[in-house]
């Protein structure tokens, strides 16, 4: 095994397993990192609720979207599609397209969660979002194995609860909500994603994957659609990383 590549498949209890104190320290860091995400998710959950109310969604309909779809970009887009008079088939197909990137998240997390019972993994899948993936993959990489407690914290406490509570508040309270961009909350999402990406860079390959992912993402996003850009960056960045010789190895 190459020394620059940590083992992907977790080896809980193996000789390299961390102590409980080290796992607890990583969980503390996950909770701390999650605070900014909670602020961002709450701010945009409020805006989503407000936008849904303005588009004529009832509180039940807006909340059903946040519970059952639970994907911010697709939910915001759906409001526009409904207002624009799209057919439901069109809305559903566009939703599938916008959310295709989640496949990559599941594939990257699968080795860490393989020892969980299937029904638990099925539940874990429903709450897998950009933010949950970013926080949990960083945590798993720090401790070298999967950690369901950390995953649930990232997915439920940091994203699912704030997003759904904020949706309900937004759709009920309505126009009394201040614009979150006024408080810089819109910049927290990209800053958090970039910051967590930095935490995953341990060598030349990850660096190349990140740079190529970003460049391809922007290029395809500009040429076609941002969701396609994210998918293309997530697919092609790792290929560029794979063909990059690791540090200390000649091409």
Partner 1 sequence: MKTELVWLALLMGAVTYPWRAVPLLTPGMHRLPSRAQEYFRLVGPAVLAALAAVDVMVILDAERTPSFHVGVEWLAVGVCLVLVAARRGLLGGLVAAALITTLVRALNLA
Segment 215 to 234, residues that bind partner 1, using CB under 8 A: 215-218, 221-226, 229-230, 232-234
Name which of 107, 105, 126, 106 is nearest 193 in CA terms: 105
**Contact flag: residue 247 with partner 1 (CB under 8 A):** no
Torsion over CA: 132, 25, 40, 57 (sign): positive
26-45 residues near partner 1, rule: CB under 8 A: 29, 32-33, 35-36, 39
Q: How far is CA 152 from the centre of its chain?
A: 13
Q: How far is the CB of 50 from partner 1 (least distance, A)?
A: 16
3-state secondary structure of 5: coil
Long-range contacts of 174-181 (CB under 8 A, 24+ apart): 174/50, 174/53, 175/50, 177/46, 177/47, 177/50, 179/47, 180/43, 180/44, 180/46, 180/47
Q: How far is the CB of 176 from partner 1 (least distance, A)?
A: 20
146-175 residues near partner 1, rule: CB under 8 A: none
Which residue in 54, 172, 173, 242 binds partner 1 (CB under 8 A)? 242
Find the farthest-apart pair of alpha carbons in the chain and give their distance in angstroms, rounded.
61
Which residue in 156, 161, 165, 193 binds partner 1 (CB under 8 A)? 193
Among the listed ranges 16-24, 118-126, 163-171, the one in contact with partner 1 (CB under 8 A) is: 118-126
Nearest to partner 1 of 161, 211 (CB atom): 211
93-112 residues near partner 1, rule: CB under 8 A: 93, 95-96, 99-111
**Contact flag: residue 184 with partner 1 (CB under 8 A):** yes
Among the listed ranges 12-20, 156-164, 170-178, 236-244, the one in contact with partner 1 (CB under 8 A) is: 236-244
**Contact flag: residue 204 with partner 1 (CB under 8 A):** no
Instruction: Spell 166-194 as b/e; 16+ CB within 10 A means b.
Output: bbbbbbeeeeeeeebeeeebbebbeebee
Among the listed ranges 18-26, 64-72, 158-166, 169-177, the one in contact with partner 1 (CB under 8 A) is: 64-72
Which residue in 148, 157, 201, 204 binds partner 1 (CB under 8 A)? 201
Question: The tokens of 159 are what?
Answer: 């994203």
Nearest to partner 1 of 23, 33 (CB atom): 33
DSSP 246: P
Name which of 233, 247, 157 is nearest 194 in CA terms: 233
**Contact flag: residue 83 with partner 1 (CB under 8 A):** no
Size of the site for partner 1 (CB under 8 A): 112
């Amino acid at each position: 095994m190459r020394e620059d590549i940590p083992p992907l498949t977790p080896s809980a209890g193996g000789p390299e397993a961390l102590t409980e104190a080290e796992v607890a320290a990583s969980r503390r860091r996950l909770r701390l990192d999650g605070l900014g995400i909670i602020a961002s998710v709450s701010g945009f959950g409020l805006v989503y609720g407000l936008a849904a109310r303005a588009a004529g969604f009832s509180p039940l309909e807006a909340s059903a979207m946040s519970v059952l779809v639970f994907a911010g970009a697709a939910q915001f887009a759906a409001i526009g599609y409904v207002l624009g008079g799209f057919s439901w088939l069109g809305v559903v197909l566009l939703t599938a397209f916008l959310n295709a990137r989640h496949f990559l998240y599941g594939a990257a997390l699968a080795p860490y969660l393989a020892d969980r019972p299937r029904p638990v993994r099925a539940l874990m899948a429903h709450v897998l979002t950009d933010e949950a993936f970013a926080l949990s993959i960083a945590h798993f990489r720090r401790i070298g194995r999967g950690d369901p407690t950390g995953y649930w914290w990232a997915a439920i406490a940091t994203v699912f609860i704030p997003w759904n509570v904020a949706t309900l508040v937004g759709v009920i309270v309505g126009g009394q909500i201040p614009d979150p961009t006024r408080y810089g909350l819109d910049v927290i999402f990209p800053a958090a994603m970039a910051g967590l990406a930095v935490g995953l860079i341990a060598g030349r390959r990850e660096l190349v994957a990140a740079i190529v992912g970003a460049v391809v993402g922007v290029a395809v996003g500009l040429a076609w659609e941002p969701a396609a850009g994210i998918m293309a960056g997530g697919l092609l960045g790792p290929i560029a990383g794979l063909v990059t010789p690791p540090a200390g190895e000649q091409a």
